[in-house]
Amino acid sequence: MLSYLHAFHAGNFADVQKHGALLLALRMMQAKDSAIACFDTHAGSALYRLDSDQAQKTDEARRGIQALWPDRQQLLSGDWKAFMAQLERFNGSRAALSHYGGSPAWMAALKRPQDTVTAFELHPTETGKLSDWAATVGIQVRHQDGLRGLLKALPPSAPRLLVLTDPSYEIKTEYRDVAETVIKAWQRCRHGVFLVWYPILPKQDHHRLFSALTASEVTKVLRSELTLAETPDRGMSGSGMLVINPPWGFEERFRAMMSEAGTADRLNATHQLDWLVPE
Ligand code: SAM
């Protein structure tokens, strides 16, 4: 039933955008001491080998994180430096970039003692790998539907909330299900920061997400879209993120990050940032 495996896509241009936004939002929230409950509704298996057969088969990381990695010393604003420093930690003493962190690994890396991280995953093999890894870093794993699981957990006992929702959109109803869940989650925790990833595909199904959100009472929805300069024959032509309630100042800092990353010699993509729903 579940056929998607993130190992084929880890470190691609969409991961760079998604994990860049996640890391920046979480770091900015941590400027205050109060505890943050972090939820990853679609976690994957946490750590990926870029030299695995799966990654080599698609070679997606070459046009993603591998295109930024050589510039990490001189590259990039302070926010990319923090990203690259963490990526170096995922790789230990290895000179080449062979390991890439999935979303729960980025959350776990930033987690302070007062924060919690809960990762949902439905695929049995992915959940097994995720659980083995999680036991070493002290985060909670739930082998459950992430959308239902999130709603059951809200409002959190911690004063603040960050949610990443990153489905594979294998099932057509997922756009509607994600929108309905985010709207309900927002109603239970209006100050929460919600990051929602979506693919940009020829059918433009992601507009279902937009119409549901714009018809709801949710406000402060920032939209980031990274569009590849060379449209591939098949697959995604771009990658999108919605950030609901971004921390103050996130917009400018994320715009700067993505404009540095998108240049022709790096991701070769244009980035647009606007408010799908303003305040
Ligand atoms: N968030 C991960 C990252 O950034 O590294 C990648 C996640 S991948 C795009 C989507 C994952 O969601 C897959 O591992 C898939 O097995 C899992 N999944 C699919 N439906 C799910 C559901 N209803 N609840 C939880 N996990 C689900």
CATH label of the domain that carries residue 203: 3.40.50.150
Q: pLDDT (tens digit, 0 to 9) for every residue of the chain, 279 residues total? A: 678 999 999 999 999 999 999 999 999 999 999 999 999 999 999 999 999 999 999 999 999 999 999 888 776 678 999 999 999 999 987 778 999 999 999 999 999 999 999 999 999 999 999 999 999 998 999 999 999 999 999 999 999 999 999 999 988 899 999 999 999 999 999 999 999 999 999 999 999 999 999 999 999 999 999 999 998 778 899 999 999 999 999 999 999 999 999 999 899 999 999 999 998
List C-alpha distances in Å: 82 to 85, 109, 161, 202.
Answer: 5, 11, 22, 34
List C-alpha distances in Å: 35 to 25, 167, 177, 217, 222.
Answer: 14, 26, 28, 26, 24
Confidence at residue 1, expressed as pLDDT on a 0 to 100 scale:
65
**Positions of E strands within the chain:** 36-40, 47-49, 99-101, 116-120, 140-142, 160-165, 193-200, 221-228, 238-244, 269-277
Residue 1 lies in a domain: no
The structural domain count of the chain equals 1
Go through the chain and tell me how many residues it has. 279
Q: How far is the CA of 167 from the centre of ligand 1 (A)?
A: 5
* Strand-strand pairing, 47-49 and 99-101: antiparallel
Confidence at residue 76, expressed as pLDDT on a 0 to 100 scale:
64
Residue 112 lies in a domain: yes
Q: How far is the CA of 121 from the centre of ligand 1 (A)?
A: 6
Residue 73 lies in a domain: yes
Residue 139 lies in a domain: yes
Is 274 a catalytic site residue? no
- DSSP for residue 82: H
- Does the beta carbon of 104 lie inside 6 Å of ligand 1? no
Residue 107 · residue 11 · CB < 8 Å? no
Residue 244 · residue 186 · CB < 8 Å? yes
Q: How far is the CA of 264 from the centre of ligand 1 (A)?
A: 30
Residue 84 · residue 104 · CB < 8 Å? no
Q: Which residues pair with 47 in a beta bridge?
A: 101
Query: Which residues constitute the domain of residue 128?
Result: 6-277
Residue 147 lies in a domain: yes
- Does the beta carbon of 6 lie inside 6 Å of ligand 1? yes
From 145, 166, 233, 274, active-site residue? 166
- Does the beta carbon of 129 lie inside 6 Å of ligand 1? no
Residue 215 lies in a domain: yes
For the CA of 41, the closest atom of ligand 1 is: 25
Confidence at residue 200, expressed as pLDDT on a 0 to 100 scale:
96
Q: Which residue has the tokens 């714009």?
A: 214
Question: Measured in whole angstroms, how far is the alpha carbon of residue 97 from the centre of its chain?
Answer: 20
Confidence at residue 133, expressed as pLDDT on a 0 to 100 scale:
95
Residue 208 lies in a domain: yes
Give the residue, out of 122, 174, 195, with the most ligand 1 atoms within 8 A of its beta carbon, to mutate for a pocket test. 122
- Does the beta carbon of 145 lie inside 6 Å of ligand 1? yes
Q: How far is the CA of 166 from the centre of ligand 1 (A)?
A: 6
Which among 243, 42, 271 has a CA at the least distance from the CA of 162?
243
- Does the beta carbon of 126 lie inside 6 Å of ligand 1? yes
Residue 164 lies in a domain: yes
